[in-house]
Amino acid sequence: MHTSPLDQPGTGDAGGMNVYIVETAKRLADLGVEVEIFTRQTSRDLPPIVQLVPGVSVRHVTAGPYEELDRSDLPGQMCAFLSGVLRTEAIYEPGRYDVIHSHYWLSGQVGWLAKERWGVPLVHTMHTMAKVKNLLLAEGDRPEPPARVFGEEQVVDVADRLVANTAAEAEELISLYAAPPARVSVVNPGVNLQVFQPASKGAARHRLGLSQDAHVLLFVGRIQPLKAPDVLLRAAAKMIADDPSLRDRLVVACVGGPSGNGLARPSLLTDVAAELGLTDLVHLAPPCPQPELADWYRAADVTVVPSHNESFGLVALESQACGTPVVAASVGGLRTAVEDGVSGLLVDSHDPAEWATALSGLLDRPAWRGFLAEGAIRHAAAFGWQATAGRLVEVYTGAMSQLLPVAAAR
């Protein structure tokens, strides 16, 4: 409801969830599952229906003004969004949809009512959870409101199946939201191994205008407190303080745009770079399509993911698939996305000094970096979107078969 799979990930509210929905929908279509994605219309110029690929349609639902709304304003549009979803189904013969898969709690609320109306199972993926985010807030970040917590608890209560990205997320659903374990299924997200694959680092740097002998540290993601890009900049400042000769070769590249609470200070990285005296070393780039993003990963020596929380961490997986090791915060799904000491390193704090130590160690030891790069490729190869879609089909059919006896009794 709050973001479209057609939007460019990396800015606004578009991120890993957008990638997840697009990639799983395509792979579900490959398996013969017809997919219709309902999303809120954000421009009057958008057509009512867009075919993403054969077998996957995106339906634009009019709900509120034709512009991007802050997520705090979206609950007021849930009735309008639900009305558009129900009207679409009503023009067809009964039984058009076999299962509803909602993503994020706002869509889960809409899915709850549609499930009751259509008599089909509801499968829900949280992607992020308010209770988890509030336990791991960045300094100065706003906690998620009680209304979201209540909304998530309601969705957990009514969903026929809950899809968790990792075993750790499954435990959070059970311990923090009292989700019945039998209704929780773990389905790891994947990576597009056709796009994100190893290729020449030198050629990628040439295309991006980066020096061939530079030490390139890369951040990819939305610029907001949750993602903690400032930790990378502060770590870079510490690295230079410890080794002033590094200034001549270090490049800190950040690919993404302001989002969420980060919109309150869109100049955050520019301001922090100036404060630390790193303006000449920090390279800011806007979000970009996947083929160009793959070049950024290949061009980097290390990809840095210092988030305070991640339900999985697709950026880490994409980087590893390109052969670039990752240094990530030891939180949430990043513990699954990165194999510590094999495909990258996990850091237990957000202290810039600890990040500086980890990053300097990799830059100073090319052989170790090469070892982790090889491990990164092997680790990422186990996470293809085809496997994700196959597991989702199992979840869908399980939920449908469990509902059949109930429907027969009626």
Q: Which residues are annotated as a binding site for UDP-N-acetyl-alpha-D-glucosamine?
A: 8-9, 16, 222, 227, 310, 318
Cβ atoms of 32 and 43 within 8 Å: the answer is no
Burial label, 21 (beta-carbon count in 10 A; 0-12, 13-18, 19+): buried
Angle at 125 between CA 344 and CA 45, to 5 degrees: 100
Within a 13 Å sphere around the CA of 147, how many CA atoms are in the beta-carbon half? 8
Task: Read off the tokens for 50.
Answer: 């867009």
Distance CA 160, CA 370 (A): 45
Q: Other CB atoms closer than 10 Å to residue 212's CB: what's the count?
A: 9
DSSP secondary structure letters along 56-117 = EEEEEE--S-SSPPPGGGGGGGHHHHHHHHHHHHHTS-TT--S-EEEEHHHHHHHHHHHHHH
Cβ atoms of 138 and 144 within 8 Å: the answer is no
Q: Which residues are annotated as a binding site for Mg(2+)?
A: 297-298, 300, 324
Q: Other CB atoms closer than 10 Å to residue 107's CB: what's the count?
A: 27
Distance CA 44, CA 204 (A): 38
Strands of 161-164's sheet in order across: 100-103, 122-125, 161-164, 184-186
Rg (the chain; Cα; Å): 22
Instruction: Write the CB contacts of 393 (distance below 8 Å, at least 6 apart in sequence).
Output: 28, 31, 33
Q: Which residues are annotated as a binding site?
A: 2, 8-9, 13-18, 71, 104, 128, 148, 222, 227, 297-298, 300, 310, 318, 324
Across 275-304, b (16+ Cβ under 10 Å) vs e yields ebebeebbbebebbeeeebbbbbbbbbbbb
Q: Which residues are annotated as a binding site for 1D-myo-inositol 3-phosphate?
A: 2, 13-18, 71, 104, 128, 148
Q: Identify how many contiguous H helices and E strands the chain contains and give both numbers.
A: 15, 13
Distance CA 116, CA 1 (A): 19
Decide: helix, strand or coil at residue 366: helix
